[in-house]
Structures are given as C-alpha cells and as structure tokens.
Amino acid sequence: MNLVFDIQKSIEKHYDRNAFCIGQEYHTYKEFAQIISNIRKTVRSKTEENEIAIGLVTNDDIQTYASIIALWLEGKAYVPLNSEFPLSRNQMVIGQADIRTILDSSNEKIFSEYQTITTKELNTFPVDLTPLRVSEENLAYIFFTSGTTGTPKGVPITFSNLSGFVDAFWALDYPITEEDRCLQMFELTFDLSVMSYLAPILKGACVYTIPKEEIKYSYIFELMEDYELTFSLMVPSILHYLRPYFEEINCPALKYSLFCGEALPLDVTEEWSTCVPNATIANVYGPTECTIFCTDYTYVKNAENKTHNGVLTIGRDMKNTSTIIVDKDNNEVAVGESGELCLSGAQLTPGYWKNKTKNKEAFFYKNYQGKNTRFYRTGDLCNIDAEGDILYLGRVDFQAKIQGFRVELSEIEYHAKAALDKVNAVAVAFTNTIHNTEIGLVIESEVTDTKELLEYIKTKLPSYMIPSQIKHVQSFPLNTNGKIDRKKLKEMFS
C-alpha cells in the first residue's frame, strides 16, 4: 500500500520540521511520530484484529491527527465523531459502523459506555511507523453524511480510493513542498479535511488548524496574514464573511487558493484575487462519494471565465475520474443540454455502508467507452460545453415547480445579488399554508426596503419566479462543514 508507506517516509524524512500549528503551538514531525507510535501500540493491544472501524472524537489537537495516522498504519479505518453533535446522532453512527473502540483526546470520557482509549494519557513506546501490509481495499475512513430519512448514511472510502485521489491531485500540478504552510479549516467530520492534512503530511509541510472556540472566518484571516500561509482549501461561504475586510487583506505569500463544497460566484472570486495577488485560484468539485474532489477549473485573472448565473464552472475531470451528464433514463445528453452529473473511476466509494436500498438509488451500471462501468448519481444539475467544461446549474433538488414551471433557484439568486451590490442572498422554495409552492428570498443584511430589489428582479424574471416573501438575517447560518444551512433558512417561511 504505497500511500501509507509514503506517509511513513515523509514523517521520517522531516523529523526536524514543524508538522502542525494548533492553537499557535507548533508540533514537529518527530513529536508527531512519537505520539502516533504510542497510540498505535495501544490500539494494537486493546482492539481485535477484526475491528474494522474505530471511532475518533474530533478534537483540534495533535493527538487526534496522530490517531488517524496510527489507525492507518494498523490498516484500520477511522469514523469521526463530533462531540457537539446530538448524542442520538452519534449513537446511530456508532451503531451503524459497528464501533467497539473509540479514540478520544478529551479531558473527560465522552462515550463512557464504549471502550475508550484516552490518547493524552498513554505510555511512551519505541517509535514504529512501519505500516502493516494490508489490502488496498481496506477502508481508510467512513464519513456519515446527512440522510433524507433522518438517518445518517455512511460513505466508506478505501485506501485505493484515497490513493487515486492523491495521484489525481498531484497531477493537477498545485505543488506542495516542505516549505509550505497549509490551512486546515474543516471539521474532521467533513471530508475536505482529509486533503487539508494529508497532502501537507505527504510533503513534510506544516498544517495550520482552526481552534473550535474561535470564529472561523476571522481566525482564517489572522492565520493567512500572520503566518503567511501559502496553500488553502476553503468553502466559498468563507469569502462572503471575509468580503467586508477584503480591502484590508493582503496575502502575497499565498500560492494556491482552492475552493470546494459550494458554488463559487465569479464576482467574489474576482475581488478575492486582489487579496491574493500571487495565488493561483481554482474551483474544485466532488462529493464525499468520489473521495474529496474530482474535477478542477483554474480561474483566469483579468480575462473571461466560464460561468452560469454568475457561478464559475467546475471544470473538467481530474485524472482517475470520468464524468457524464444523463437524463432520467441514464442516457447521455447532448452538449449544452442539462442533466444530472454522474461520476465513475478509481475514487468512487464501494457503496453506502450497509445500505442496499440507497445503493440501488445512487449507483448504476452503463456501457461507457466499451466497458460496463459503475456510475454515481451526484444529484447535481449540470451541462457540458463544447470544450468539455462542466457548468454547475444547481442541485436537482434546488429546482422547484412553480405554477407548473420548473425554476432554478440559482437563477433567482443571481439576479437578486446583481441588484444588491455585493450583499449575499439565498432563494428557497417553501410550501405555504394552502400547500402551494412559493419562492422565499433571504438577504444577509440589516432590514432594508426591498421595493427597488423587487422592481429590478421583475425586469429580469417572469412573474412566477418573483419571491413572494423576503427575509433578512445578520449572517447566514452555517452547518458544521462551513456551508450555508439552507434547511434553516427554509424554516423561516410558511
């Protein structure tokens, strides 16, 4: 398993360099290796060989990151557990993943009814980073994402999937070296965190994390300037929070600024480019089911960029991934026609964890380039242009039927934001008291007179697409992944 051996080699090669900066405290790769070894030895002595998945409480400390590597060296998978999530949700995850052992660096045991290895209180053992030789099809992690039924659904990712991603990422030529200082802004229950710690570790770079008690966007601002970060992967929502401070932000040290997880608006990207004058800005895309991200588009400064409703294209397939856009019968649509984006390739999960029903819905086989190929339905509405770039139109479920017409909510947002001059807005579809569907618009600002806004929208959109209700919020609610929580916004309407 080359990936895990590559991790070993990199840690051993960079003993004297800093591996992590957590809460303004540095930890060297040598210290990291010692903690990994202590955890690894304890895991080996206290768990059964057939324990596939080990729970991991997601704290922001060196022991938590060391636990991930220790488990991988033992050929085991980690399942992140956020102690701030409802207990019932964590118990569902623990039950579904058959977790018997939990690694926890907290000062007090959080899941006392399970065997818990408290990773801050371990004996010191000789350093041992030599991986066990296990199959590439062994699991590296299982992330549980929100399910429409209220039950989280598990997405298992194998070492082979993860190796496919790393291979494809290096092929993009966004190089990381031991001199780099890399942002890790994500909660460890979000799969973008994997790239944010794994890529730097593989190159001996230093990872800079965000303490849970800090305001995320302001702390990122401080990290980027004070520590002269050189590489970042962020969700676009962060830019909306940073936008009022763009005139103050100057990060010439940043070499690569990647965005993933949500639609990336062109106007904000253009403004951000002045804050990071030497950075390559890229929009990458991918669901958890296809291991972190699998398409890429490089933003072109001072030139025309491909967009739909003001949103940057998600670009083209990365190495190891194939994309198609299909109609409801899984037939590929013509260039320029809209349909559901589907993915296949080395990064594709083996399937949802113990969920045959969901697997039948989400995966299908199709003859593709002469082979019977397995594809995943992303739920994303897209089209592809003549040059092969994929334009993101919105979620399939971000469409709404209003008076019999199919409406893309992203189109309403585009025109609303054009009228609001740099103020963010989100459109939602809601069911009124007589069970008809209406459009609601939420504006991220103080309460304002919306008469001019509505007049402007009426010049751009047909009557059935005009919002019937408009609400204001000081700031959009975010979920744990840093994305705008559209479900909470929808609850504002009735």
Confidence of residue 434 (pLDDT cuts 50, 70, 90): low
Answer whether residue 150 shows pLDDT above 60: no
pLDDT in tens, 291-335: 999 999 999 998 999 999 899 999 999 999 999 999 999 999 999
Cα(209)–Cα(58) distance, rounded to whole angstroms?
13
Which domains does the chain carry?
2-307 (3.40.50.12780), 318-394 (2.30.38.10), 403-490 (3.30.300.30)
**Position 410 pLDDT exceeds 70:** yes
Over residues 434-446, the mean pLDDT reads 85
Taking residues 2-21, report their average pLDDT. 97
Strand pairing report for 101-104 and 115-118: parallel
pTM across the whole model: 0.85
Range of 69-73, 215-219, 327-331, 448-452 with top mean pLDDT? 69-73
- How confident is residue 5, by pLDDT bands cut at 50, 70 and 90? very high
Strands 206-209 and 181-184: parallel
Q: What is the pLDDT of residues 234-260, one digit of tens each?
A: 998 889 889 889 999 999 999 999 999
Lowest mean pLDDT among 1-5, 22-26, 140-144, 407-411: 407-411
354-374 residue pLDDT tens? 999 999 999 999 999 999 999
CB 182 within 8 A of CB 207: yes
Are 300 and 270 in contact by the 8 Å Cβ rule? The answer is: no
Q: CA 306, CA 390: separation in Å to the nearest integer?
A: 9
Give the whole-angstrom CA distance, residue 198 versus residue 3: 10
Beta bridge partners of 473: 444
CA 104 distance to own-chain centroid = 23
Is the pLDDT reported for residue 482 higher than 80?
A: no
Mapping DSSP to helix (H, G, I), strand (E, B) and coil, where does residue 97 land? coil
What is the pLDDT at residue 401? 62
Query: DSSP code of 332?
Result: B
**E strands, 67-136, in order:** 77-81, 101-104, 115-118
CA distance 53 to 94: 9
Helix (H) or strand (E) holding 99: none
Say if residues 219 and 183 touch (Cβ distance below 8 Å). no
Q: Sheet harboring 316-317: ordered strands across? A: 25-28, 18-22, 206-209, 181-184, 231-234, 256-259, 280-285, 295-298, 316-317
> What's the confidence (pLDDT) of residue 399?
65
